[in-house]
Structure 1
Amino acid sequence: MTAASELTLSPQIRPLPTQRPAQEPPSRWPLIFCSLAFLFFQGALTHLFGASDGSSGGALKALFLPVALLIQLSAIVLLALPKRQRIVLELLPRNPWMLLAIAFIVLSALWSIDPNLTIRRSIALLGTTAVGLLVYIEVGRERLLRFFAINLAIFTVLSVLFSIAVPSLGTHVHDKFAGQWRGLLGFKNQAAWSASLFIIIWLGSRKTNWMKKLNWPLLAVGFLMLLQTKSATGLAATTFGVATFISLYLFRRFVIFRPIALTALAIILVLVFTDAGALFSTILELLGRDASLTGRTSIWTALLPFIQDRLWLGSGYQAFWDHAAEFFGTSSWMASIGHAHNAYIEILLDVGIVGLIIQLAFLLHAHLKLFLSSMRGNPDSATMFVIFLTFTVIGFAGALFFRPNTGIWVMIVAFSFYAFDRRPRLARQRSAAG
């Protein structure tokens, strides 16, 4: 057994009483569809369909939205089939805060500065959510974490190969980030987040024999991709994720470690509430970054007046940035950056304080469910809990919650249904058969 797998397996850990036994293998073609859909939304064809950093894009840029729509409609059709429809209707009420958040997003078209745009992107969010729900239902609970580990491994390996073999596309060339790897994605930070998530999920997934044999080589590839992006955010997210992963393992397994961990957490919280600025500066100094976070704080300051103008309900889901030139002027650099580079500020822009409260309630509820499940001995829940915490860290540097056509949202949806599903699929099938 490798050292990485030892962190997730313990003779003291037993399956949850409600956890279903080994299930039949999922159907091949729906599983292949789920894999291709996730890789597509993760950004596997970014350079072909168009870069996400605002450049002119690839030869098939105009096909991105039709392909995304086809995938989403296919997922909805698959979910509507009788054998899945009953499961869908049973699962959806288990995830009320996500449903409320999406409903509020759709309703934001009523006060949006661009209602048609908000409606279109809300539909895309619904379609991407359907893909995440299909992944959870089709892949199954026992294989869910492994599904994302394998697909992210494929994505990371291809990204490294692409960066080495086709540097004109796999690396930044004509900008200030020249030479830094971006792999299959359009920007280095996104590539770093993807590599970070791969490393954490791979460490935490229960591995088959072939995965164990490739354990260290694939982890080395993941760290190579992460380091070559030269992304401080990606490195910080990975360090946080791995440290949290190890801490949670020790917390679950060794009772003596719990008071130490709780004391450390209390000290951190005291520092945050009493001198957050000093703590923030110290972290930035350790990362070798200036206090502006590569200009992000300037973006946040510039957005503050527009957030205050629509403080409670926001400007409408994803409506602000298509009209940024009207707010900042066509000559302003703010007119073309595309997002707030902070998930929480982006939510405030879109749906205001009310929307932020609802979305945070969804995230906190999922955190709590996964943590409690991990404390009852479920190692997969422990890894998903760490992933959710890592998402919250990444969110300080990029927009990623409730984002359509993204692999991260597919993961969040699938993991949240894992957290809230109190009656696994095999139990449903047996109940129906009886």
Structure 2
Amino acid sequence: MMKGRRHLLPPTFGVHPPLKTQTRFQTFIQPSFPGMPADGRGWGAAIFALFGLFVFSGSLIVLLTPVGAQSSPKVQALGLIIGLTSFVACIRLGALSRVSSLYWLTLVPILLTTASLAWSVSPGLTLRRIVGLGVATVFGIWLAERFRRDEAFQFIAGAAVLICLANVIIAAVVPSIGVHPNLTELGEPNPHAGAWRGLFFHKNDFGRMMALCATILWIGYSSQRKWRLVCGLGLFFSYLGVVGSTSGQAAILAVATPVTIYIFRRLRPLSAGARAKILILAVPATIICYIFSNIAFSIVLEMLGKDPTLTGRTEIWTGVLLALKGHYLLGGGFGAGWDLVGERLFILTGILVGHAHNGFLDLVTDLGLIGLLLMLLFYSSLIILSVRSYFYGYANEMALLGFGIGVFTFVGNWAASFMLLQNSLYWVIPVACVAALKCSAPQARSSIPSEQSAAEFWHLQECKRPYAVSSDLIMGDAQ
């Protein structure tokens, strides 16, 4: 041994210092905003993530769109900048190989919509929609690649709080922007006069976004004690927005989806056999609930002062099916289906609208029955992946979010259209969930050490990801 050289002791030598713990009250009065780095590092990536999520929520469209215009070049340019930045970051993170091997499910809609250029009735419009869809896809993948699963959910929850605060405050403080006026642009009485619309053009879009934020924030509120004050504030504003929007669909989504997530969470402590029995019994129970839900649905709508036929939507749905005759298989091209159906619908029914008020039918008009089948398989796969991830114990918040967004999409698209929406948070979140859950899919059980629990093992595996290390750069550390 060399003279003067100290012998190195093992790291476990000696008495460990006592761990500092906090009481529930101390945790409550020292809240943590979801998504903000606690160690002062990674602010560049944090701000970019929150800003991108806020932009994809659609909360800047009204402010950046010229009066009377159908689209905004500023919004399109902003989306392209976010998409290109995310794409360069994904390259630096070495994500391209994982996209083809693990996240290929997120590429299926891109390939299908790109193929629809061949039969689109408006190729230029379809191409713009494809670019917007690609931008949202790349950003969702970057979000899952740049951060660990728990961090990615934090940013989504933090963005949900900001979205709720910004929209509700605008509706309450600046009614000229956030509330439907008494008269339409044509000088006619506005049927939605007085309803809140926040930073959106229509109250239903605003209410549905508030319902989505409520779903996200319920997961955050019940998952982390340190988030409860901030997420609770966001929940208050989200439900205030739902009530102010007077949207029946938003009210149903804001209640049904969190309740479904709560029931799903209660199944986790049960054994696999018990869960299987419950799922088997759930099939006939769901059928019975669906039969009686029509009656309850009509009663709720009448209590809210709404038309039980969903403001004439059922008549529109029938007319769309008739107008689509001869194009059931492939539709009219992504984003261009209504150019094919709209005029025929007016001739057949005398109804002049811009969409089918049903996401499943809108998808059929764009991509046909093939597109509808593929998207149903996509969201079903997301739900199955989320269920497996949650019950295996190696994912919590993102698995609950994936399950919740799947339920939200299936329920919400009966009266709205956001199953495959470009430049939208409704597509960013499913992509981020698929990527986050796929990157740590369960390995063989034999690879899990017996002395470790499954949750501890997957947490350690996730912490080994080199690109999850916090950095001040949006790009992260190149592999």
Q: TM-score range by the shorter chain?
A: 0.7 to 0.9
Q: Deviations over 1:167-226 (max 9, x none)?
A: 0110111321111111122211121122112222112124363x3333433322221111
Q: CA deviation at 1:323?
A: 5.4
| Contact 1:139 1:147 survives alignment (8 Å) | no
Q: Give 2:210's aligned amino acid.
A: A
> Cα distance 1:104–1:214, how it changes in 2: closer, same or farther (>3 A)?
closer
Report the equivalent of 1:340: 356
State the alpha-carbon separation in 2 of the partners of residues 405 and 49 from structure 1: 15
Q: Give 1:56's aligned amino acid.
A: G
Q: CA deviation at 1:114?
A: 1.6
Q: Deviations over 1:149-181 (max 9, x none)?
A: 111101101111101110011011132111111
State the alpha-carbon separation in 2 of the partners of residues 433 and 170 from structure 1: 43
Equivalent of 2:49 in 34, 37, 44: 34
Q: Deviations over 1:18-65 (max 9, x none)?
A: xxxx999873223322221211120121221239xxx7259x944222
Q: CA deviation at 1:328?
A: 4.4
| Contact 1:37 1:71 survives alignment (8 Å) | yes
Matched, 1:286 2:303: no
Report the equivalent of 2:74: 63
Q: Deviations over 1:344-367 (max 9, x none)?
A: 111111111111111111111111
Q: CA deviation at 1:139?
A: 3.2
Q: How does 1:346-361 map to 2 (within 5 A)?
A: 346-361=362-377
Matched, 1:241 2:257: yes
State the alpha-carbon separation in 2 of the partners of residues 329 and 24 from structure 1: 59
Q: CA deviation at 1:369?
A: 0.6
Equivalent of 2:216 in 184, 201, 223: 201
Report the equivalent of 1:73: 84
Q: How does 1:149-168 map to 2 (within 5 A)?
A: 149-168=157-176
Q: CA deviation at 1:428?
A: 4.2
| Contact 1:402 1:409 survives alignment (8 Å) | yes
Question: Percent identity, aligned pairs only?
Answer: 23
| Contact 1:105 1:317 survives alignment (8 Å) | yes
Name the SS for the 1:253 alignment partner.
coil
The structure that is helix-richer by fraction is 1
> Cα distance 1:26–1:345, how it changes in 2: closer, same or farther (>3 A)?
farther
RMSD: 3.4
State the alpha-carbon separation in 2 of the partners of residues 322 and 74 from structure 1: 33
Matched, 1:417 2:435: yes
> Cα distance 1:121–1:334, how it changes in 2: closer, same or farther (>3 A)?
farther
**Unpaired runs of at least 5, structure 2:** 1-22, 28-36, 184-189, 442-460, 469-476
| Contact 1:68 1:405 survives alignment (8 Å) | yes
TM superposition score normalised by structure 2: 0.76
**Unpaired runs of at least 5, structure 1:** 6-21
Q: How many residues align?
A: 406
> Cα distance 1:391–1:179, how it changes in 2: closer, same or farther (>3 A)?
same
Report the equivalent of 2:457: none
> Cα distance 1:195–1:433, how it changes in 2: closer, same or farther (>3 A)?
closer
Report the equivalent of 1:318: 335
Equivalent of 1:130 in 118, 130, 138: 138
TM superposition score normalised by structure 1: 0.83
| Contact 2:59 2:200 survives alignment (8 Å) | yes
Q: How does 1:30-429 map to 2 (within 5 A)?
A: 30-50=45-65, 56=68, 61-80=72-91, 82=92, 84=93, 86-173=94-181, 174=183, 175-205=190-220, 206-207=223-224, 209=226, 211-254=227-270, 258=275, 261-262=278-279, 265-271=282-288, 279-288=293-302, 289-322=306-339, 326-328=343-345, 334-335=351-352, 337-377=353-393, 378-380=395-397, 381-422=399-440, 426-429=463-466
> Cα distance 1:290–1:176, how it changes in 2: closer, same or farther (>3 A)?
closer
Name the SS for the 1:43 alignment partner.
coil
State which drifts further: 185-194 or 230-239.
185-194
Report the equivalent of 1:12: none
State the alpha-carbon separation in 2 of the partners of residues 25 and 322 from structure 1: 51
Q: CA deviation at 1:70?
A: 2.4
Q: CA deviation at 1:331?
A: 12
Report the equivalent of 2:6: none
Report the equivalent of 1:16: none
| Contact 2:60 2:75 survives alignment (8 Å) | no
State the alpha-carbon separation in 1 of the partners of residues 467 and 44 from structure 2: 23
Q: Give 1:98's aligned amino acid.
A: T
State the alpha-carbon separation in 2 of the partners of residues 384 and 196 from structure 1: 16
Q: Deviations over 1:258-295 (max 9, x none)?
A: 588547623333337xxx66542332223434442112
Q: Give 1:405's aligned amino acid.
A: N
State the alpha-carbon separation in 1 of the partners of residues 73 and 132 from structure 2: 16
> Cα distance 1:261–1:239, how it changes in 2: closer, same or farther (>3 A)?
farther
| Contact 2:332 2:338 survives alignment (8 Å) | no
State the alpha-carbon separation in 1 of the partners of residues 350 and 150 from structure 2: 47
State the alpha-carbon separation in 1 of the partners of residues 249 and 158 from structure 2: 24
> Cα distance 1:347–1:143, how it changes in 2: closer, same or farther (>3 A)?
same
> Cα distance 1:25–1:395, how it changes in 2: closer, same or farther (>3 A)?
farther
Q: Give 2:267's aligned amino acid.
A: F
State the alpha-carbon separation in 2 of the partners of residues 278 and 136 from structure 1: 40
Q: Which of these two proteins has the greater Rg computed from alpha carbons?
A: 2
